[in-house]
Structure 1
Amino acid sequence: MTQHLLAPITLRDLTVRNRIWVPPMCQYAAAGLDGIATDYHLMHYGSFARGGAGAVILEATGVLPEGRISPQDLGLWDGAQREALRPVVDLLHSFGAAAGIQLAHAGRKASTEPEWGTAHPGASLTAADGGWETVGPSAIAYDALTAPTALDEAGIDEVVAAFAASAVRAVDAGFDLLEVHAAHGYLLHEFLSPLSNHRTDSYGGDLAGRARLLLRVVDAVRAAIPEGMPLLVRISATEWVEGGFDLAQATEVVTWLGEHGVDMVDVSSGGNAAGARIPVGPGYQTPLAAHLRERTEMPVSAVGMLDTPFQAEHVLATGQADVVRVGRAFLRAPNWGIDAALSLRGDNEIIPPPYRRAFRQQLRRG
């Protein structure tokens, strides 16, 4: 049996031990409301590295306080947050995984209650509950959320500078790769989409104008990090609605991202149009990844209900993607990477030595 899933991959100066990557997944676990990682994050992310993941990418992390989805999000706008992330990075490295982090600004979808543990999950926070003014490309609300204030050029410059400054802190904390979040209806995606961007200045209008902020952020981050460090971008390749950002536009944007020094694109979809009819099912986003990989020559990762090792192996073996991101399946089974290695008859080096006694029968069968 082929073992594409277990093969290493090299991006710039970084070689990752396999193609099993854990994507960013919001945890809403910064209990002090200060964006600082806690012991929870050590346990949570460390379990994936111990369980065989090649790379673990930390959740959407705010580059500004007002860029958080909720007050419980991680942040990387100051030194205390950077220092709290160092032990997480060290733990991932100790288990052989590469450490990544997703830098984000939630835009008009910021200042909301977390998805769990509150009375109104996902609703806009009031000022009395610690909410703040949100920003976007235009003063257009997402669904029932509070309408944002349209960013002026000074505000746009601040966002660009914040991404770059957070990137420097991420490098200082020891991360191996960075990802810019430009998907799921958050700020950079909002600028890309004609549904949320009605600007008439140089940051709106045609696709080149709508992509200007994303490319400025990419340029600023690329300039702020070492030449050998991989830079990734997550995009929503389609919004699944007529008149929205679609695969043809995504193909053009991904081409531009490659020209601006991006090393891989993670291909997701949706998030900017409430009520979009999304054909959710096993592997439903892999055709989007395959399309972009074929037409742009950009390395891509596929994500979305890729739950079994054989399914993930098929995506790689058939050339639909270069990396598979496994999220919820790792939440259910933090040893998913080990189980994949055993299922595909890989060697046992991925299993930490103290754990190998628990897998002797499977190893003998292999």
Structure 2
Amino acid sequence: MEAAKSAQALFTPFQAGSLELANRIVMAPMTRQFSPEGVPGENVALYYKRRAENGVGLIVTEGTVIEHADASNQGNVPHIYGEAALKGWAQVVKAVHEAGGKIIPQIWHMGAKGQVNDYSAAEIAEIVASFARSAAAAKEIGFDGIEIHGAHGYLIDQFFWEKTNTRTDQYGGDYLARTTFAVEIIKACRHAVGPDFPIVFRFSQWKSSDYNAKLAKTPEELEQFLKRLSDAGVDLFHCSTRRFWEPEFEGSDLNLAGWTKKLSGKPVITVGSVGLDSDFMSMFKEGKGSSVQAIDGLVQRLENGEFDLVAIGRALLGDPAWASKVRDGRTDELLPFTPELLGTLT
């Protein structure tokens, strides 16, 4: 059955360099904590396979942590290093590929407990090298690219933000100087994976501690910020917002992804409460679920070229068949998201 006319744009092919996707639907990275001692098992492989066999074009895994003492304080968050974890991820990759999907890991360091000022130059170099090792391992076991997590107040974003980075060396300073840590990570990963392996970079203006935070206060600042990262080796930007429909700057309806595409010339992924009627923080603050919401406005923005790919988060947790139902016009069968789903891996 052909995709419902209102959703056809979501089901057109996409290519950026060596990354070829059957459609524009991305599974957003969502921490699940179902990998004991950092090792993903068969249940994790089946979880991602269900989304791939139901028509998700690209899966971005939950955050996978690098090898560093402070990378994670959660024992069931998966690693992207070590023989056992990498064997587990190889099985995940195999399952997704057998289902016709593409998959990339989100490579992550959860961050310093406070500010980043206490990291020495030697420890920073160690962290950069660890990101690169994980990137190389991801390529070796068959992933289709990588995503570097530079958003939401985690380590890379802590270096970006003036409130958490008051360093006076080369890793601190103005908003461009504060990109140095990220630039070094991107360059190291690019060197590790070669020129043709896709690198996605996820960033956000907001932080989990401050929803109104701005890394770039104007389009001009955003353009310079993006150029530094782009020149370092980023192929696609994943632009994290809480609500995709909200404008990023006054005087334009463009969201963060729209501005990023316009200013950088790079392909972009938009994300933020797609297909649902409330943002994810309602779940944490009020224990609320979310009902299904029409996506006509989203599709119109995609057709207008505001962004290239659309990341779906909680809607795909609530309904593994979300993409196939939208494709086939069975939107009346879409399932809502409830917080209880966070305790299961379906």
Q: Residue 69 and residue 337 in structure 1: after superposition, are their counterparts in 2 closer, same or farther (change >3 A)? A: farther
Aligned match of 1:63 in 62, 66, 87? 66
| Partner of residue 17, structure 1 | 22
Counterpart-to-counterpart distance in 2, 1:238 and 1:315: 22
Counterpart Cα distance in 1 of 2:217 and 2:99: 37
Q: Take 1:11 and 1:184, find their aligned partners in 2: how far apart are those partners?
A: 26
| Partner residue, 1:354 | none
* Alpha carbons 1:63, 1:105 under 8 Å: kept: yes
**Which is worse superposed, 154-163 or 202-211?**
202-211
Q: What is the distance in 1 between the residues matched to 2:138 and 2:260?
A: 28
Q: Structure 2: how far apart are the matches of 1:218 and 1:135?
A: 23
Give the SS at the match of 1:100: strand
| Distance of aligned partners of 1:281 and 1:227 in 2 relative to their CA distance in 1, 3 Å threshold | closer
Deviation at 1:243, TM superposition (A): 7.1
CA distance in 1, matches of 2:47, 2:214: 36
Distance 1:284 1:44 in 2: 31
More moved, 235-244 vs 297-306: 235-244
The number of residues matched between the two structures is 297
Q: 1:246 aligns with which of 200, 216, 229?
A: 216
Q: Which residue of 2 aligns with 1:322?
A: 308
Structure 1 gaps, min length 5 = 109-133, 139-149, 270-279, 346-366
8 Å contact kept, 2:152–2:206: no
Establish whether residue 228 from structure 1 lines up as the match of residue 196 from structure 2.
yes
TM-score in terms of structure 2 length:
0.80
Contact persistence 1:309–1:340 (CA under 8 A): no
Q: Which residue of 1 aligns with 2:240?
A: 268
Deviation at 1:247, TM superposition (A): 4.7
Aligned residue for 1:96, secondary structure, equals: coil
Counterpart code for 2:20? T
Assess if the C-alpha contact under 8 Å between 2:176 and 2:224 holds in 1.
Answer: no
Structure 1 residue aligned with 2:317: 331
2:339 corresponding residue in structure 1: none
Q: Does the Cα contact within 8 Å between 1:309 and 1:344 map onto a contact in 2? A: no
TM-score of the superposed pair, with normalisation by structure 1: 0.76
Matched, 1:195 2:181: no
**CA shift in 2, pair 1:209/1:336, >3 Å:** same
Describe the superposition over 1:251-304 as per-residue Cα deviations: whole angstroms up to 9, x where unpaired. 3221222212211100014xxxxxxxxxx5563477111111112212111001
Match in the other structure for 1:47: 50
C-alpha separation in 1, matches of 2:26 and 2:259: 20
1:155 maps to what in 2? 123
Seen in structure 2, the aligned counterparts of structure 1 residues 136 and 171 have a Cα distance that, compared at 3 Å, is: farther
**How far, CA to CA, are the matches of 1:343 and 1:293 in structure 2?**
29
Which residue identity is paired with 2:108? A
Deviates more, 1:336-345 or 1:58-67: 336-345
**Contact persistence 1:237–1:246 (CA under 8 A):** yes
Structure 2 partner of 1:127 = none
CA distance in 1, matches of 2:132, 2:114: 19
Is 2:179 the counterpart of 1:211? yes
1:259 aligned residue (231, 249, 262):
231
Contact 2:205 2:213 in 1 (8 A): no
Asked if 1 retains the 8 angstrom alpha-carbon contact of 2:186 and 2:232, the reply is yes
Partner of 1:343, secondary structure, is: coil
AA at the equivalent of 1:258:
S
Aligned mates of 1:162, 1:311 — CA distance in 2: 41
Instruction: Please point out which of 232, 237, 248 is paired with 2:205.
Output: 237
Please say if 1:97 is aligned against 2:101. Answer: yes
2:38 is paired with a residue whose SS is coil
Structure 2 residues without counterparts, runs of 5 or longer: 248-253, 276-293, 332-346
Whole-Å Cα distance in 1 between the matches of residues 206 and 265 of structure 2? Answer: 19
Distance 1:135 1:281, change over 3 A: closer
Inter-CA distance 283–306: structure 2 relative to 1 (3 Å threshold): farther
Q: In the aligned structure 2, how far is the partner of 1:317 from the partner of 1:72?
A: 40
Deviation of 1:136 after TM superposition, in Å, equals 4.8
- Whether contact under 8 Å (1:238, 1:250) holds in the other structure is no
From 140, 144, 162, the counterpart of 1:176: 144
> Aligned-pair distance for 1:343?
2.4
Structure 1 position 80 matched with structure 2 position 84: yes
Q: Which residue of 2 aligns with 1:137?
A: 116
Deviations 1:326-352 (A, max 9, x none): 11111111111111211299xxxxxxx
Alpha-carbon distance in structure 1 between the residues aligned to 2:59 and 2:212: 34
Q: Which residue of 2 aligns with 1:145?
A: none
Query: Shift in Å at residue 30 of structure 1?
Result: 1.5
Q: Which amino acid aligns with 2:319?
A: A
